[in-house]
Structure formats: structure tokens, C-alpha cells
Amino acid sequence: MKKSTKTALIATGIAAASATVLVTLHQLTARGFMKFALDRKAPKILEKNQTAFMGSKEIFNYIDKLNEGAEALKRKNCETVELLSYDGINLVGHWYPCKNAKRVIIAVHGWRANWARDFGVIADFLHENDCSVLFIEQRAQGESGGEYMGFGLLERYDCYEWAKWADLKTDGKLPIYLMGVSMGATTVLMTTGFKLPKSVKGVIADCGFTSPHAIWKHVAENNLKIPFGLYSAISNEIFKKRIRIGANEYTCAKALENCTIPVLFVHGTDDSFVPVTMTFENYKACKSEKRMFIVPDAEHGMSYIVDKKGYEEKLLEFFNDFG
């Protein structure tokens, strides 16, 4: 064998081996990314680096206030209630009734969060303003069953069932509002694609993303500084295998194109996890009556803390106008 031929074969072999190694690394990275995104139990190495995923350290400045609110809410006299999902998963909620209630709020928390932390700071305001609240625990989180989170694609079915539960609980006599934060906001927006009970009068969506694919792309490219294009196909394959639907097969826009109830969109300008542009996209897609409340300088999910007065005024206006 000629020396030049041998050299060429060696080079080809090295290139092929390098390509194989690169593909393997991409697969491992994508699998780790999706495990953190979807699995009930997050990989420890990734759980310790949530700051990178969130894209900012500023959001953690509010942890003490959120924890105080969570502890206060947990001490309230909430009744634990349960519901069986469409696919046989046991779902848990916490019913906080208000005497002489004028409305019901179904409060939906976000990704890797919990019902008390996401709504602890606003719980007293809702209760003092005649709201009975059902704080639900999203599937694969907290006390609810399930192994995988669906980034709204599965949770919309759960929210729909909770809406029917609340309608039955109140004999259809009270207006119901779906209120979500972060992935909870995406969940309630996607739920508008169903034919909801007539008692459901509105949706409050605080910093929701547009689709699973869109938020993963944003986090990968902007926060983790990795080219999502290399992992997109693998990530979607993993998602579809676990969730039985593609990451871009259903979006908030698709639901909102058929939405018939009013929506209040809320977002902070400094959100580095879910960019405010996603709320602009969702707002544009919404065909029903809609309002938008943008809070300057607010990080992800912190709009109520940053502008408590403005947030409360917008909520009361929304309740009064669409009750």
C-alpha cells in the first residue's frame, strides 16, 4: 500500500471517529438537557446550575420573599383535593375557599416550582378580594403523580379537568379564571383551545412562553450559549417518545387563534428566562378580547413583587370587566 493511500485512510478513519464522538457528545448533551427539562427528578449536576438555565442571578434576590410567602400560604386552611387525569395520573390541588366568594381562581404554578412559592405573595390579595382559589400541583411535580412534565402540552388537559372540577364545585354559579405563571401561564393559554365551561370567564397569563421548542431554543442559545440547532432533532425525538407529541406540534398561538374568552397578558421587561417577546407573540395571536400589562425592570415571574399596586389594579379591572 502506498504511503499516501495509507495516510489518507488513517485520516479518513480519524475523521469518522471524530464525527462519531461528536455525535455521541451531542446525544449525551441533548439527553441531559431533556432529562433536566422533563424528568420529575432532575440530574444533580444540572440542578446545582439553575442560574445558568435561568440566564440571570438577579431572580434569586427574591427567594427570601417568595419563601416567606410560601410558608404563609402553607399555613392557611387549605383543603387537599384530588383528581384523576385523562391518562390515569393522580393530580393534587389545594382548595382555599373564601366566604361569600365572588369568583374562583385556578392557580397554575411553573416549571420546577410549586403552588405555594409561585402564589404565596399574592394569595392574601386574592382572598381579601373575594376569590376562592384552587392551587393545583402540576403533573410530575410536588404531590401530583406522573414522571414527566409536558411544558403545557400535557398540562392543558389537566387544567381543563380542573376547570370542570371548579365548575361542578360551585354549581356553575361563580366566574372562574385560569391564572398561570411561567409554564403555568403557557398551560392556561393552551387550555383556551378547549371548549371550556361557560363559567370560565378569563385567563391571566404571567410570563408564559410560546411553545416547548421555542423556550428550549432560547435557553440553549441565550443562557447556556450552545447552538440548539445541533440538539433540536434529538431533543424533539426524546420529547415525542416520552410525551407522545412533538415539541412544536401545538403552541399557544394555535390555541389562542380559537380563544373566545378574555386574556390578560403580564410580563416583566427584564425576564432573562422567558423573553418578553414571547408574550408579544402570544398577544398578537390571541383573537379574543385581550389586555397587556408590561412591568419595567421585572425579572421572570417577579412582576407582582416589582409593581404590586399596578398588578393588583389590573387584576381588579379585569375581574370587574369580565365577571
pLDDT in tens, 191-226: 999 999 999 999 999 999 999 999 999 998 998 888
Residue 211: all three cell numbers together: 411553545
- Give the chain's mean pLDDT: 89
CB atoms within 10 A of CB 167: 19
Residue 37 and residue 209: Cα distance in Å, rounded? 14
Q: Please report the pLDDT score of residue 50 as a whole number.
A: 65
**Mean of pLDDT values over 172-187:** 98
pLDDT-derived band at 16 (thresholds 50, 70, 90) equals very low
Nearest to 111 by CA among 246, 300, 240: 300
Q: Please report the pLDDT score of residue 12 as a whole number.
A: 44
Plot region of 200 (φ>0 → left; ψ -120 to 50 → alpha; else → beta): beta
Secondary structure (3-state) at 288? coil
Contact 250, 190 (CB under 8 A): yes
- For cell 385560569, what's the residue? 178
Q: Please report the pLDDT score of residue 56 as a whole number.
A: 67
Q: Please report the pLDDT score of residue 224 as a whole number.
A: 85
Share of the chain above pLDDT 90, in %: 76
Specify the higher pLDDT residue, 27 or 107.
107
User: Does the pLDDT value for residue 11 go beyond 50?
Assistant: no
Q: Please report the pLDDT score of residue 263 as a whole number.
A: 98
